[in-house]
Amino acid sequence: AQSVTQLGSHVSVSEGALVLLRCNYSSSVPPYLFWYVQYPNQGLQLLLKYTTGATLVKGINGFEAEFKKSETSFHLTKPSAHMSDAAEYFCAVSPPQAGTALIFGKGTTLSVSS
Amino acid sequence: GAVVSQHPSWVICKSGTSVKIECRSLDFQATTMFWYRQFPKQSLMLMATSNEGSKATYEQGVEKDKFLINHASLTLSTLTVTSAHPEDSSFYICSATLWTSGDYNEQFFGPGTRLTVL
């Protein structure tokens, strides 16, 4: 069975500081991994995804994530936080079966202070 | 990119009434759609999987008679909350999935519907 663990339900950074949101997964098969962002009262927007190929994945809004198989991790980073980055972030893994729902972590709330 | 819409974006209703929420895939056909419920400051809770032309599959603990799901076409799924009560107040999000050539599911999410039951 697949699962996702997001360490830290709340992360606070200053504007301009490095953002690091942690995600670890459990999967018996090669995982497909996703990061989504959710702004208040909105749906989920895909930030980036890892399927195959390069393990460092670049996404929208300056975010990137690195797939590390040895550490079963897929941490999300951004070199310099912006106030507009304040939101809820979800890591997810895709089961290998067609038509099955993504498995989400519990989410991490990112706060950015000026 | 693939777009999923939801209607209405918010609804307020009286206790005991029924509310229908529509989820549409605008530029692709989705054989499978999902309905999620989200409580404040929490993750998405999968309620049910909806496949076109067949009965929905509900997650454990979700009352199928209360949350009626219909997936009548490849672009439309509806969630009806029957005899709504205040505890049904929540944020409901749908998503539609594409099975890609890369052998993985990619889900596209709607903007959500805020339901408030008075």
Name residue B115's beta-bridge partners. Answer: B11, B90
pLDDT digits (tens, 9 = 90+) for B7-29: 999 999 999 999 999 999 998 88
Query: How much is the pLDDT for B101?
Result: 61
Judged against a pLDDT cut of 90, whether residue B103 lies above it is answered with no
Query: How much is the pLDDT for B54?
Result: 83
Who among B31, B107, B110 is closest to A102 (CB)?
A: B107
Report how far residue B31's alpha carbon sits from residue B14's, in angstroms, rounded to the nearest whole number. 33
Q: Which of A40-44, A88-92, B105-109 is most confident? A: A88-92
Who among A94, A99, A104 is closest to B44 (CB)?
A: A104
Q: Which of A32-46, A68-82, B88-102 is most confident? A: A68-82
Rounded mean pLDDT, B92-106: 78
The DSSP call for residue A16 is T
pLDDT digits (tens, 9 = 90+) for A8-65: 999 999 999 999 999 999 987 778 899 999 998 888 999 999 988 899 999 999 999 9
- Which of the residues B26, B104, B106, B107 would you substitute to probe the A interface, choosing the one with the greatest number of A C-beta atoms within 10 Å? B104
Query: How much is the pLDDT for B102?
Result: 61
Query: How much is the pLDDT for B106?
Result: 79
Query: How much is the pLDDT for B58?
Result: 95
Cis peptide before B86 (omega within 30 of 0): no
Q: Look up tokens 């949101």; give the residue.
A: A21
Report how far residue B15's alpha carbon sits from residue A87's, in angstroms, rounded to the nearest whole number. 32
Which helix (DSSP H) or strand (DSSP E) does residue A17 occupy? none
Q: Are strands A19-21 and B90-99 parallel, antiparallel or unpaired?
A: unpaired
**A3 lies within 8 A of chain B by CB:** no
Closest-CA residue in chain B for A99?
Answer: B32
Cβ-in-10-Å burial (0-12, 13-18, 19+) of A30 comes to exposed
Q: Are strands A32-38 and B105-109 parallel, antiparallel or unpaired?
A: unpaired
Cβ-in-10-Å burial (0-12, 13-18, 19+) of B39 comes to exposed
Closest-CA residue in chain A for B97?
Answer: A99
- Which of the residues A33, A35, A42, A89 would you substitute to probe the B interface, choosing the one with the greatest number of B C-beta atoms within 10 Å? A42
3-state secondary structure of A61: helix
**Tokens matching residue B61:** 């603990």
Question: Dihedral sign, CA of B22, B25, B29, B32?
Answer: negative
